[in-house]
């Protein structure tokens, strides 16, 4: 018989992928500062070694490449055994592929999906048996407002987040009966290392798109970017809630942009609804 765990308040145990930079680094340190325990993971253990020196027994640092399913399973199980439970499993590792739809190779796209989609799935599948056995838990996934809208030049990254959203929405329905909660975190533009060489890969370019990509890059530089250090309290409100949302925006620009996109989609579907209905046919 499983024992229902209490997820209220602090003193939670986290498993976080991509703890070495960006939101993963910010949220790992914020959780540790408030007294929680964290299994922090990164592809290179040296990049998170300082956490152990600073937070001692409250942190377990693990080397983890999320594209290695065997390593994922071992890391999740080691973290659970070390702390005795996992309250929050946060999938945060990911990167963006820069290149038009024509430019990106099959290998480029495959590697992106290995990290951004199959990696998180490996973590989820490794964690679920443990969360069921302990009586519950909370799975969080870092998506993006680009899980609802798209931009050119990073279309494949956007597509990985659309897939990420669908997987987590289905997951939420499948695991609700086990006391397992699911939340998709959707940040807007933030001043993190996401635009650094470590978080970007570039497809081989074609000259015909160079001017377009330069204009696109210049437009991105002018975007209003949030402060990542302002985000932990929002995350804590989500994980401390008895009824956390399936989705949570981070930042002030997401809702207007997403609302406009959905309004345009609804208007277009309604405009073509007579044609759609004509395709129903009668059996």
Q: Which residues are catalytic?
A: 143, 157, 161
Tell me which residue of 204, 218, 217 sits closest to 102, measured CA to CA: 204
Task: Tell me phi and psi for residue 152, to 5 degrees.
Answer: -70, 165
Contacts of 66 (CB under 8 A, 6+ apart): 17, 72, 93, 115, 119, 120, 122, 123
Q: Are 73 and 62 in contact, with CB atoms under 8 Å apart?
A: no
Tell me which residue of 45, 32, 167, 50 sits closest to 88, measured CA to CA: 32
Token pair 């997987």: residue: 167
Q: Which two tokens stand for residue 239?
A: 């994980």
Cα–Cα distances (Å) from 162 to 10, 135, 143, 145, 149, in that order, read: 32, 29, 8, 10, 9
State how far the Cα of 277 lies from the Cα of 267, in Å rounded to an integer.
16
Handedness of CA 62, 66, 71, 76 (dihedral sign): positive
State how far the Cα of 113 lies from the Cα of 193, in Å rounded to an integer.
20
CA angle 31, 32, 35 (to 5 degrees): 95
């Amino acid at each position: 018989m499983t024992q229902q765990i209490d997820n209220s308040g602090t003193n939670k145990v986290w498993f976080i992928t991509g703890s070495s930079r960006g939101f993963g680094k910010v949220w790992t340190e914020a959780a540790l500062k408030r007294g929680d325990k964290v299994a922090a993971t990164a592809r290179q253990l040296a990049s998170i070694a300082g956490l152990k020196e600073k937070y001692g027994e409250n942190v377990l640092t693990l080397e983890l490449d999320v594209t290695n399913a065997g390593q994922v399973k071992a890391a999740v199980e080691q973290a659970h055994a070390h702390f005795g439970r996992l309250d929050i499993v946060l999938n945060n590792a990911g990167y963006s592929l820069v290149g038009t739809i024509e430019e990106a190779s099959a290998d480029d796209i495959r590697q992106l999906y290995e990290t951004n989609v199959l990696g998180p799935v490996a973590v989820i599948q490794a964690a679920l048996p443990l969360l069921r056995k302990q009586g519950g838990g909370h799975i969080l996934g870092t998506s993006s407002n680009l899980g609802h809208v798209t931009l050119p030049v990073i279309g494949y990254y956007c597509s990985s987040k659309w897939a990420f959203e669908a997987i987590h929405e289905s997951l939420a329905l499948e695991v609700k009966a086990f006391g397992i909660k699911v939340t998709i975190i959707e940040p807007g533009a933030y001043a993190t290392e996401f635009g650094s060489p470590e978080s970007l890969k570039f497809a081989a370019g074609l000259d015909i798109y160079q001017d377009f990509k330069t204009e696109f890059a210049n437009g991105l530089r002018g975007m209003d970017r949030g402060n990542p250090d302002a985000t932990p309290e929002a995350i804590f409100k989500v994980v401390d809630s008895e009824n956390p949302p399936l989705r949570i925006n981070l930042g002030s620009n997401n809702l207007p942009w997403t609302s406009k996109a959905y309004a345009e989609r609804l208007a277009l579907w309604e405009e073509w609804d007579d044609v759609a209905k004509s395709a129903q046919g009668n059996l």
